[in-house]
């Protein structure tokens, strides 16, 4: 599988690998696709450069959307630590909805 060159360089470094693992709980905005402009919470990582995202409304925690990392812009904000346990998103859809509603100004 081909990986985008800048991302390949980023993932090859040790610190970057840890950063990639810590994506769970980050707030990201979709920059391409039908859902462009939508805020998401990264629910987990998948193989390669894909992550699963949810917004608590159309994409719930139980049925997250699979999204390419290149199509997301990280906002630099994270959900509270209480929403994540052992690297897994444990928040309810209602909690995610209310948290993202407060982040709309980003």
pLDDT of residue 29: 94
pLDDT of residue 4: 61
Gyration radius of the chain's alpha carbons: 13
pLDDT of residue 48: 83
- Which DSSP string corresponds to 41-104? EEEEE-STTEEEEE-SSSS-SSSPEEEEGGGEEEEEEE--GGGEETTEE---HHHHHHHHHHTT
C-alpha 81/C-alpha 90 separation (Å) is: 10
pLDDT of residue 18: 47
Q: pLDDT tens for residues 43-67?
A: 999 888 899 999 999 999 999 999 9
- Minimal CA–CA distance to 25: which of 11, 7, 45? 45
Q: Structural domains in the chain?
A: 5-102 (2.30.30.30)
* pLDDT beneath 70, residues of the chain: 1-21, 104-106
pLDDT of residue 30: 94
């Amino acid at each position: 599988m081909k990986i985008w060159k800048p991302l390949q360089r980023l993932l090859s470094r040790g610190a970057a690998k840890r950063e990639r693992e810590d994506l769970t709980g980050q707030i990201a905005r979709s920059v391409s696709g039908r859902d462009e402009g939508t805020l998401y919470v990264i629910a987990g990582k998948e193989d390669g450069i894909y992550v699963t995202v949810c917004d608590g409304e159309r994409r719930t925690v139980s049925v997250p959307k699979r999204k390419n990392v290149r199509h997301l812009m990280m906002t630099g904000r994270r959900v509270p630590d209480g929403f994540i346990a052992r690297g897994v998103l444990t928040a309810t859809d209602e909690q995610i909805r209310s948290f993202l509603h407060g982040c709309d100004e980003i």
